[in-house]
Amino acid sequence: MKHELRISGMTCSSCAEHVEKALNAIPGISAAVSYDRALAEVDAPEELAVGELIAAVAAAGYSAQIADDSPAAATGDGGDGLHVAVIGSGSGAFAAAIRAAEEGARVTMIEAGTIGGTCVNIGCVPSKVFLRGAHAAHTQAAHAFDGISRTRPVIDRRAMVAQQQGLVDELRHAKYESILETNPDIELVRGFASFEDARTLVVRTNDNSEQRLTPDRIFIATGASPFVPEIPGLSDTPYWTSTEALVAEELPARLAVIGGSFVALELAQAFSRLGAEVTVLARSTFMSKEDPALGEGLQEAFEAEGIRVLLHTVPTRVEHADGVFRLDTENGVVEADRLLVAASRQPNTAGLKLDRAGVETNANGAIEVDDHLRTSAENIYAGGDCTSMPQFVYVAAAAGIRAAINMTGGDAEIDLRMMPAVAFTDPQVATVGLTEAAARAQGLEVESRTLPLENVPRALANFDTRGFIKLVAEKGSGRLLGAQVLASEGGEIIQPVGLAMRGNLTITDLADQLFPYLTMVEGIKLAAQTFTKDIKQLSCCAG
């Protein structure tokens, strides 16, 4: 049977030779590839699925799809080739669906709720708008510059929420809904999916009917939801999770926040800056999974802004009466008008019936995956917050792309050793690579240097020297292993360190680089110089 494939990704005639070789390596195939026409003409046995041809091209590093005038396209064989089902519609799901379609697969996306998942709807986008608005209010009231009046602004929370949600709606349509409207290779099925067995999905649609799917590959990207700890009385109260807090049109006079990690601390500081009296109750310390100095420095910044911090504190009981929350703790009673519970997040896997498919999870219900996003079940992949991977949207998207490549015959792995992370508090907490403790746990001999921001000229010019830059290196070789940053622009500082690590640069390499003067990122160079010099003895811009 003759097939014609449109090939994308070729940049020269040698590329065409590579594609031709990959196709002819399939038993029974005779293929000729034209670079000028971006076309592969293939003679194949009738029993050979077109998806195998597309997968072979993908494995060679290119993309293929059935040409419009190909006999396979006319008979529908191309559409009946490799079928990929994607459960979920967040960033990881869309990344997988788009890439799988580009690789020639027919994609079915299954979603019962709002298109777009956590990030655009109830996570990254609305939270960053909220935080930036609170930052503007704080800057107006408490900036550090003489000669400029400081005035506490009047806050219209309803207007803030309207603007915030307007952007959410705009981005959801532009980045998610419009893709479904314009990509004919991705079909949306509305409903809840669960496994009947490793090969069969049962979708209970929104009209309460059932649909069975038997795709060739399945990608699970169902995300995560706020975890609510089992505290006596809590479930009987009108507490907030981050979802409700972000769209609340009221500003409570007093807010209690349960949690000591990213989400809890970002929202706690934002509400404080908008005028609420905030108490944070952390089970252990701030950012307990990070270098201890980061949490200590952030706690100091919070307390300087008037936020009450209670460490190693878990409520033993929560009550709500007459509009007031009462939290009993070992450190006394905390009263508040609103309670935000942001202790952690749990994967959305409970309703998938993963045991029927042989998909293994950890004790928290997160799906276990390897570096190719494969689960314990053949042909079932997973990525994003429903897995044991770090819960960041860019990790989910990267996982989706790599899973799609692998589901369509390629070979791609995800490497998280140099994954940057940022908490958008003020100052921001930014990390990449290993801490000292983690490096030593791996048997590495390390040395580190911590540069207080009072030694960074731009921080001095900003009148904001809160925080530090810490670099961790392998002793002897000087190989950069990681960095921890506490700074108002930590998120903008951390990425160059990750790139330096990927390039296997040493501390000496960093110290010798040219960094523009009076930038915060110059602190990376200065921190590297402290391994061999006393920077207080250097002039400005000293190389």
Q: Is 507 exposed, middle or buried (0-12, 13-18, 19+ CB in 10 A)?
A: buried
Report the phi/psi class of residue 365: left, alpha or beta, with left for phi > 0 and alpha for psi in -120 to 50: left
Catalytic residue, from 160, 386, 418, 540: name it.
Answer: 540
Judged by DSSP in three states, 496 sits in helix
Pairing of strands 277-281, 254-258: parallel
Contacts of 505 (CB under 8 A, 6+ apart): 480
Which residues, other chains included, contact 422 with Cβ-Cβ below 8 Å and sequence gap of 6+?
428, 429, 430, 490, 491, 494
Amino acid at 122: I
Distance of CA 362 to the CA centre of its chain: 20
Q: Which of 109, 119, 160, 386 is catalytic?
A: 119
CB 472, CB 434: distance < 8 Å: yes
15 is catalytic: yes
Beta strands 468-474; 446-452: pairing state:
antiparallel
d(CA 480, CA 502): 9
Q: Which of 1, 124, 418, 419 is catalytic?
A: 124
394 in catalytic set: no
Please state, in angstroms and rounded to a whole number, the distance separating the CA atoms of residues 347 and 388. 9
3-state secondary structure of 407: helix
Kindly state the helix (H) or strand (E) to which residue 168 belongs, with its residue range.
helix 157-172
Query: Would residue 386 show up in a list of annotated catalytic residues for this protein?
Result: no
E-strand ranges in 171-240 read 186-197, 200-205, 210-213, 217-220, 224-227
**The pair of three-digit structure tokens given for residue 409, joined into one six-digit string:** 């015959």
Residue 254 CB burial class (10 angstroms; 0-12, 13-18, ≥19) = middle
Give CA–CA dist 114/120, Å, rounded.
Answer: 10
Please list the alpha-helical segments (H only) found in 383-521. 393-407, 436-441, 457-461, 490-502, 507-512
Say if residues 46 and 55 touch (Cβ distance below 8 Å). Answer: no
What length is written for the chain? 543
Q: Is 540 a catalytic residue?
A: yes
462, exposed or middle or buried, with CB in 10 Å at 0-12, 13-18, 19+?
middle
> Apex CA 90: angle with CA 103 and CA 244, to 5°?
175
- Pair of tokens at residue 113: 């709720």
Ranges of beta strands (E only) in 206-348 are: 210-213, 217-220, 224-227, 254-258, 277-281, 308-310, 317-321, 324-329, 332-336, 338-341, 344-347
Q: Which residues are catalytic?
A: 10, 12, 15, 62, 119, 124, 540-541
